Amino acid sequence: MKILIPTDGSKHSEAAIREVASQIWPEGSQARVLYAVELYPRNLHGASLIAPERYEEIEHLDRDRSKSFIDEAVEILVNGGFRPDDVSTSVVLGSPKRVILDEAEEWKADLIVVGSHGDGPIKRFLIGSVSLAVAMHAPCSVRVVRPRYEDDDED
């Protein structure tokens, strides 16, 4: 079984990673931790929120930040029983929704396990929900994981 786990470093993503690590998977299952670097966030009117001269600096900072999230995710998965050789990682430039869907298709994932952000209906309408988009358009099964109640007091 090939399990794709997108992360953004949030407690919601960590809950998804811990969920995968806590399950018993068929022998030879593989996990891939994915981080999408979105360089050009835009406002509701499509205008960039970042000055073009800062793109390279922001990309470098986000890639550095992604490394710590990915390293932590790999450690959780290996401590949960995955062999190190069965855990891979990927950092991809692009919109998280598109990156996750493309990676799932290209890697031929059997399952995507994604954290659910606790956005209310207005925020979800305005910026869209990554987990909702993935669940609706994925080429495979999707499991949406929420943090446990005791962990849900942040946000």
What 3-state class would DSSP assign to 66? helix
Written as one letter, the residue type at 126 is: L
Q: Is the pLDDT of residue 121 over 60?
A: no
Q: How far, in Å, are 19, 26, 28, 102, 139 from residue 94 at the CA level?
A: 26, 32, 30, 10, 19
Give domain limits for the chain: 2-149
Alpha-carbon torsion, ordered 74, 118, 121, 91, to 10 deg:
-20
The mean pLDDT value of the chain amounts to: 83
> Where is mean pLDDT largest: 55-64, 91-100, 138-147?
138-147
By CB atoms closer than 10 A (0-12, 13-18, 19+), residue 35 is buried
Using pLDDT thresholds of 50, 70 and 90, give the confidence band for residue 48.
Answer: low
Q: Is pLDDT larger for residue 39 or for residue 42? A: 39
CATH of 2-149, one of 3.40.50.620, 3.30.1490.20, 1.10.10.10, 3.30.479.10: 3.40.50.620
If you average pLDDT over each of 52-56, 63-67, 150-154, which comes out highest? 63-67
